[in-house]
Amino acid sequence: MEERSEIIEKYKKKIESLKKHNNFYYIKDKPKISDSDYDNLKKEIIILEKKYKFLKKFGTVNQIIGAPPSNKFLKIKHLQPMLSLSNAFNKEDMRDFIKKINNFLNLKNENLELLAEPKIDGISATLIYEKGNLIRGLSRGDGSIGEDILENLKTLFSIPKKINAKDVPELLEIRCEVYIGKKDFFKIKDNFANPRNAAGGSLRQKNSNETSKIPLKYFAYGFGAVKPMIFKNQSEFLKKIKKWNFSTNPLSETVNGLDQIETKHREIDKLRSTLDYDIDGLVYKVNNINLQKRLGNTSNSPRWAIAYKFSAEKAVTKIKNIAIQVGRTGAITPVAKVDPVNVGGVVVSNATLHNEEEIQRKDIRIGDTIIIQRAGDVIPQVVSVDISKRDKSSTKYMFPKKCLCGAETKKELSKSTNKQDAVRRCFKGYDCKFIAKEKLKHIVSKEAFNIDGLGKKVIEQFWDLNLIKEPSDIFRLDYKKIKKLEGWGELSINNLKKAIDKSKMISLDKFIYSIGIRHIGQENAKILSSFFGSIKGFTKLFESKSRKKTLVNLVDLDGIGETQVYSIDNFFSNITNTRIIKDLIDKLIIKNYAVKNNDGKFSNKKLMFTGGFKNMSRSEAKAITENNGGKVLGSISKKLDFLVVGDSKPTQKKIDQAKQLNIKIILEKDWNKILNS
């Protein structure tokens, strides 16, 4: 019997060798071993992974196999961003989804027609047709820039290369999900970890002949850019493209109201195992395309669609220990280290316990037998404790009152609810090295600096080696040292250099988001960026006096409240935080806030709303104003150009204040007039 350490050593060597050959094959275009030797190497690794579950923690081969470095394909900007979906896990989440839509559209709890469609667990792609001819095919990439994989997509027999119909729009972009059938996967399963991985690997082969060897299929589910727009609703769209020979999912169906949503969900969940493709839930989309347009998107996902996931897979295991993790905003999260257990195909050895209260409420103790669950890509959770299996000698778990850095932690009083926070936090900011490391991971993430090749794992590694301790270190990396590290060759270093150089030029809103101030997400970062306009304006936050003055004005902004202001003040009151952000700015070129629409109907105008509109919600009126170049403020001030008074319950005090300041007061119909002028 081989020793565990020997197996690990053997496994690591094989992984290194695979990485090396991937590099020869994908980047240098000069494979050094035959295809069959390469396949054998992959197989050996997969066999080891399947046999020895403890190898999981060394990073799985999934991430390496068939995932060629992304610089291989030409990068092309999407005509319209490819967004993600927000998730629902139960009936309550779906009720909330419908309620939010009703609120936005100013409707009174109407049961809107939704289109329900299986959510395929595959790889998303987009197909662009001009005058009915397939001219471009892209992968999702980061959502805003995709990769040119047209040749590979063309090998899918069932993707129309030409649409022969009179009524095809001049420009037609079809969004689809590419997958490999379960039966087909069975035939090649020794080469890949799962069907999704096989599809991804195949679709991103540099050689389209290779792609054609793996039987890929797809379902078209939506559209991107379409000119002229001829579709009125989603179901009609699907019917039409089916006629044009696209493959659409036969299980799609319109539903009305929560009961039908639940029924459809149960029905498909029952069918799930009989389908030839993996699905992890259903997508529910507002059927009416006009309403979809009105609803629009938040930063990452449409307001008109949601992925309702199937219920979580559960398993029984035992808690070996409870560890503490510190997040980038200082949140202290307890994590149960459990005996490794297979939960729906994935080996789980960590599960979140959320917070101190949760541990107390469920009286969770080290040594307890527990049920854990895992839904989608969400972190596994501890559901319940089997007290009958508890050891008599077990004692209550005492939640540590100190952060891993040694500082005292505290539960704050929420500014908005005046209740004590459930989460305990460390307030040391960059002075706590555990927070600092998490902040770095946030900074390099996709939505922030988006540095290819500098992911969470590399940050961990570079942190341990003292190569990166704070954000500005990213821009003064010692590449000579990196070159000596295992797995880093000239090419990967050059790619990293390029990616870092590229990231130096960043927009103000992304920069603000990257800092990772608590309560300042992507949306708030945009609001702040439009307020400050340039990095120079933003630097007023660094010095205590000018900060206080600036912060007073921030409360005017619609969307920014006391909570956010308090959090910004807190962040920059810490001199280490401020110094670190200053050092980072020195390394960057930060682009001024780009005024979205300079010739919009409300460009350079500041508006405020009071009272409800007849035909739309406040959120929609705000979105329309902003899309037309205007800024929406949340309180009366001299800077305001218009106070827009709606019919329903306007606040008299606001009207009086506006009159006193000589601000122009207009009605809903005047606002509409300007818009349509």
Q: Which residues are catalytic?
A: 119
| Candidate residues 41, 85, 335, 477; the one interacting with ligand IVH per rule CB under 6 A | 85
Write out the two tokens for 524: 């708030």
Question: Which of the residues 267 through 286 are near ligand IVH (CB under 6 A)?
Answer: 283
Nearer to ligand IVH, 103 or 300 (CB): 300
Quote the tokens at residue 237: 């769209």
How many Å apart are CA 377 and CA 672, to the nearest integer?
44
Residue that has been written with the tokens 């850019």 in this structure: 225
Min dist. Cβ of residue 177 to ligand IVH (A) = 4
Q: Which is nearer to ligand IVH, 176 or 515 (CB)?
A: 176
Closer of 83 and 675 to ligand IVH (Cβ): 83
| CA atoms of 498 and 492, how far apart (whole Å) | 10
Is residue 126 a contact residue for ligand IVH (CB under 6 A)? no
Cα torsion angle, 489, 61, 308, 352, sign: negative
Give whichever of 84 and 635 is closer to ligand IVH, judged by the CB atom: 84
Task: State the CB neighbour count (10 A cutoff) for residue 282.
Answer: 28
What is the closest distance, in whole angstroms, from the C-beta atom of residue 231 to ligand IVH in the complex?
Answer: 14
| Region of 80-88, 365-373, 491-499, 511-519 interacting with ligand IVH (CB under 6 A) | 80-88
Q: Name which of residues 174 to 203 contact ligand IVH (CB under 6 A).
A: 177
User: In this complex, which beta carbon is closest to ligand IVH, that of residue 119 or of residue 526?
Assistant: 119
Residues 512-541 touching ligand IVH, rule: CB under 6 A, are none
Cα 403 from Cα 412, distance rounded (Å): 15
Q: Among residues 357, 351, 316, which one has the least CA distance to residue 337?
A: 351
84 lines the binding site for ligand IVH (CB under 6 A): yes
Taking contact as CB under 6 A, which single stretch among the options 38-46, 82-90, 424-432, 669-677 is the one that binds ligand IVH? 82-90
Pick one of 160, 169, 201, 222: the residue that binds ligand IVH (CB under 6 A).
222
Cis ω before 228 (30° cut-off from 0): yes
511: its two tokens: 């920069």
Is residue 303 close enough to count as binding ligand IVH by CB under 6 A? no
Which of 48, 83, 275, 383 forms a contact with ligand IVH (CB under 6 A)? 83
CB of 503 to ligand IVH, least distance (A): 24
Between 120 and 468, CB nearer to ligand IVH: 120
Question: Rounded to the nearest whole angstrom, what is the least distance from the CB of residue 238 to ligand IVH in the complex?
Answer: 10
Residues contacting residue 535 through CB under 8 Å, at least 6 positions apart: 508, 511, 585, 590, 592
* Least distance to ligand IVH, CB of residue 145, Å: 15
> Min. distance of Cβ 77 from ligand IVH in angstroms?
17
Residue with tokens 């590449």: 479
Question: Alpha-carbon distance 598 to 605, whole Å?
Answer: 11
| Helical packing angle, 522-532 and 508-515, nearest 10° | 130
Can residue 221 be called a binding residue for ligand IVH (CB under 6 A)?
yes
The binder of ligand IVH chosen from 78, 119, 425, 437 (CB under 6 A): 119
141, 146, 160, 302: residue in contact with ligand IVH (rule CB under 6 A): 302
Neighbouring CB atoms inside 10 A of 109's CB total 9
- β-bridge pairing 589-591 and 313-326: unpaired
Among candidate residues 455, 426, 315, 422, the one with its CA nearest the CA of residue 373: 315
By beta-carbon proximity to ligand IVH, the closer residue of 113 and 177 is 177
Interaction between residue 116 and ligand IVH (CB under 6 A): no
* Residue 405 lies near ligand IVH (rule: CB under 6 A): no
23, 60, 124, 625: which one binds ligand IVH (CB under 6 A): 124
Interacting stretch for ligand IVH, rule CB under 6 A, among 76-84, 189-197, 391-399, 581-589?
A: 76-84
Q: Which is nearer to ligand IVH, 89 or 399 (CB)?
A: 89
In the complex, the smallest distance separating the C-beta of residue 80 from ligand IVH, rounded to whole angstroms, is 10
CA–CA dist 360, 358 (Å, integer): 5
CA distances from 243 to 120, 160, 163, 255 (A): 21, 11, 10, 22
Shortest reach from residue 217's CB to ligand IVH, in Å: 13
Q: For residue 147, what are the CA distances in angstroms to 62, 133, 205, 450?
A: 20, 19, 12, 16
Decide whether 199 or 525 has the Cβ nearer to ligand IVH: 199
Task: Considering only the stretches 77-85, 515-523, 614-622, 628-636, report the one whose residues sit in contact with ligand IVH under the rule CB under 6 A.
Answer: 77-85
DSSP assignment letter at 61: G
Which range touches ligand IVH (CB under 6 A), out of 63-71, 79-87, 256-264, 358-366? 79-87
Q: Is residue 120 a contact point for ligand IVH (CB under 6 A)? A: yes
Question: What is the smallest separation between the CB atom of 96 and ligand IVH, expressed in angstroms?
Answer: 18
CB 220 within 8 A of CB 248: yes
In angstroms, what is the minimal distance from the CB of 529 to ligand IVH? Answer: 24
Looking at beta carbons only, is 176 or 454 nearer to ligand IVH? 176
Min separation Cβ 176 and ligand IVH, Å:
8
Shortest distance in whole angstroms from residue 347 CB to ligand IVH: 24
Output 122 or 650, the one with its CB closest to ligand IVH.
122
Dump the DSSP string for 255-304: EEHHHHHHHHHHHHHHHGGGSSS-EEEEEEEESBHHHHHHH-B-SSSBTT
Give the residue, chosen from 55, 153, 174, 307, that forms a contact with ligand IVH under the rule CB under 6 A: 307
Give a three-class secondary structure readout of 322-357. Answer: EEEEECCCCEEEEEEEEEEEEECCEEEEEEECCCHH
Query: Which SS3 state, helix, strand or coil, does residue 199 take?
Result: helix
Both structure tokens of 378: 């969400």
565-600 as b/e: b if 16+ CB within 10 A: bebbbbbbeeeebbebbeebbeebebbebeeeeeeb
Q: Taking CB positions, which residue lies at the least distance from ligand IVH? A: 124
Q: Distance between CA atoms of 401 and 407, rounded to whole angstroms?
A: 9
Under rule CB under 6 A, how many of the chain's residues touch ligand IVH? 16
Q: Which residues contact residue 473 at a Cβ distance below 8 angstroms, ignoring those fewer than 6 apart?
A: 467
Q: What DSSP assignment string belongs to 399-465?
A: PPSB-TTS-BEEEEEPTTT-SEEEEEEE--GGGSHHHHHHHHHHHTSTTTT--TT--HHHHHHHHHT
3-state secondary structure of 383: strand
Binding pattern for the stretch 419-438 against ligand IVH, x by CB under 6 A and - elsewhere: --------------------
Return the number of the residue (117 or 438) whose C-beta is nearest ligand IVH: 117
Contacting residues toward ligand IVH, per CB under 6 A: 82-85, 117, 119-120, 124, 140, 177, 221-222, 283, 302, 305, 307
